[in-house]
Amino acid sequence: MLNFFRQQSASAKDDVLSGLTVALALVPEAIAFAFVAGLSPLIGLYSAFFIGLITAIFGGRPGMISGATGAMAVVVVALVAEHGVEYLFPTVILCGLLQVAIGLGRLGKLIRMVPHSVMLGFVNGLAIVIGLAQLGSFKTLSPEKTLVYLSGTPLMLMLILVFITMLIIWLLPKLTEAVPASLVAILTVTLISIGINQSYDTSRGENMLATVGDMLSMNTQAAANGSLNSHHGTVEESTAPPVVASTETADAEKTKASSTSVADASTGSISGGLPQLFFTQYSMVPLTWGTLKIIFPFAIILCGVGLIESLMTLTLIDEITETRGKGNRECIGQGAANIVCGLFGGMGGCAMIGQSLINVNSGGRGRLSGITAAVCLLLFVLFLAPVIEMIPMAALVGVMFMVVVGTFEWASLSMFRRMPKSDVFVMVLVAGYTVFMHDLATAVILGVIVSALVFAWQHATHIAVDIKHNEHGSKIYQLHGPLFFASVSSFKEMFDVAGDSDDVVIDFYYTRVYDQSGLEAINWLAEKYQSGGKRLHITHLSAECRRLLDQAGDLVEINISEDPHYHVATDRLA
């Protein structure tokens, strides 16, 4: 189903229109993730602007969209709750510095270690999470100021508009590709929603169909009432931890009020001014060892979560567009974006999978699409907040449901009988962990670990030996298969030290020693033959193995002339 997103090469027009579509979908996401972290909605919007703009310019994957994400938000919520918002910004800056260091160290290529089964589980679990997350948009505020699911006429109208949105996105590309179908769907459903709400307002004085502005107002009131346990229209989380009611510390002298950085919750508006440096709005935390001990663990987690999600998204967009991004450059771009974001009082962020797929589906392929999305987002905050707040949540939910349809790898369902059982297990494990734990980064790490263990277990039994004798009466062990920690036990059991002749040859021509455990096993075997007073010849052994065997002395003879040279491929693309 990833073919659903493949289109012709993008033009500047496609990038601009696609960027506008993404910007519209970014607004509720940024607001919701700010609520998750216990921060002002404007902090989420400013974060999305800085992260999106800088990664679009300097990142390693044109067409990929970055912004404030739920994965980062659930990490910083504990920091904000325990130590105050002032500690958030240096944490984000430190996270950015670590990401830049990883990029400069060329560690971004490690994403290639992710097996295809993990990738399948990742995208399938992600599709389910995106779909479940949209259920939050089917909630409304009860008289008790708690969020409850819609019913009756409002629910029916919401479902109808969601269906219309999906129908437009599906049908319009069959007629024309001059404009992104998602953008047309959002504008069409918005006009329908405005007509319905205006008609309904005449008699009831409230909206029949929830809009972005209503979502902000409802979340604000629910948070103030302490009942916000899920957010509307989010992409990566279906449930969220309790929200911190205040984004300021208890000490009013530590925090400076700023109308451009803190939203007025009573108005439910996203309108604001230009972002400012955080130290002009908040007190600076002391740059001491104690501060570093507080922020460093959070910065490490943010760095890991952000890079894993970004590199996984990069790999997914690579597959969709049939091009190749640069992982190390993306690490540097993400790091630079988080440094600037932290300096301007942001909550940090990383690649946004849902919005990246919307961008690709809308024709966005170049850096201009990400730049347009970020700039439009800032323009919404500065000038167009009242207009953006009129967009119905039904339109955005419909767009995200189409992302779900295009993201889920439906072909994987028919591959169950053809795939190895171990790969099926890994795929289901990663998808299940993603769905139930809402942690994409940990799901990927878990999948890689399980895949590595399965690989080690399977190859532990692949080592074998052919036994021959030469004309001099020497016994020759010709090994086959990998020698590493899992196959060491089998390796040791192959030799009959007591029953062997006085002259033994072990040929490593068809064997590769992969780790320290294999080297130690060779050394152990040499000592056994030495203690038995027998002479051991080892041929076709690599140089690092020979250095380990020096303690065997003259009784171990290594044929240097026959030792092979191992060539390692270098990576110039990352």
Using one digit for the tens of pLDDT, what is the confidence trace for 472-490?
Answer: 888 999 999 888 889 999 9
280 or 372, which is more confident? 372
Residue 361 — very low, low, confident or very high, per pLDDT cuts 50/70/90? Answer: confident
* Residue 66, domain member (yes or no): yes
Q: Is residue 279 part of a domain?
A: yes
| 266 within some domain | no
pLDDT for position 419: 85
Tokens coding 396: 């955005």
529 plus 432 within the same structural domain: no
Does 554 have pLDDT greater than 80?
no
Do the domain assignments include residue 54? yes
pLDDT at 421 over 70: yes
> Is 40 in the same domain as 125?
yes
Decide if 39 is inside a domain. yes
Residue 342 in domain: yes
Domain that holds residue 476: 464-562
Does one domain contain both 357 and 491? no
Return the axis-axis angle of helices 116-133 and 393-407, rounded to nearest 10°: 160
**How many Å apart are CA 492 and CA 509, to the nearest integer?**
18
**Same domain membership, residue 476 and residue 396:** no
* Same domain assignment for residues 385 and 494: no
Residue 518: CATH number of its domain: 3.30.750.24
pLDDT of residue 4: 54
Please give the helix or strand (H or E) that residue 505 lies within, else none. Answer: strand 503-510
Residue 265 belongs to a domain:
no
Same structural domain, 444 and 517: no
In the predicted structure, residue 101 carries a pLDDT above the cut 90: yes
Residues 442, 469 within the same domain = no
Task: State pLDDT tens for residues 282-316.
Answer: 878 888 899 999 999 999 989 988 999 899 899 98
Choose one of 450, 484, 506: the last residue of a domain: 450
pLDDT: is 543 or 430 the higher one? 430
357, with CB counted inside 10 A (0-12, 13-18, 19+), is buried
Kindly state the greatest CA–CA separation across the chain.
Answer: 106
Helix (H) and strand (E) counts in the chain: 20, 9
The sign of the dihedral angle between the CA atoms of 385, 391, 393, 399 is negative
Say yes or no: 338 and 314 in one domain. yes
Let me know whether 471 and 427 are in one domain. no
Average pLDDT, the chain: 81
Q: Which of 174-183, 234-243, 429-438 has the lowest mean pLDDT?
A: 234-243
User: Does one domain contain both 205 and 321?
Assistant: yes
Which percentage of the chain shows pLDDT scores above 90?
Answer: 33
Same domain, 440 and 475: no
Considering its fold, how many domains does the chain have in total?
2
pLDDT surpassing 70 at residue 252: no
Q: Are residues 414 and 557 in the same domain?
A: no
Name the pLDDT band for 8 (thresholds 50, 70, 90): low
Q: Which of 399, 422, 450 lies at the terminal end of a domain, its last residue?
A: 450
- Threshold 0.85, pTM exceeds: no
pLDDT at residue 138 is higher than 70: yes
Which residue among 394, 419, 450 closes a domain? 450
Order of strands, edge to edge, in the sheet holding 503-510?
Answer: 464-469, 475-480, 503-510, 535-539, 556-559
**What pLDDT, on a 0 to 100 scale, did the predictor assign at position 234?**
40
Is 457 inside any structural domain? no
Cβ neighbours of residue 276 closer than 8 Å, sequence gap 6 or more: 258, 260, 261, 344, 345
Tell me, rounded to whole angstroms, the distance of Cα 319 from its chain centroid: 15
pLDDT bucket at 246, cuts 50 / 70 / 90:
very low
pLDDT for 441: 79
More confident residue, 374 or 250: 374
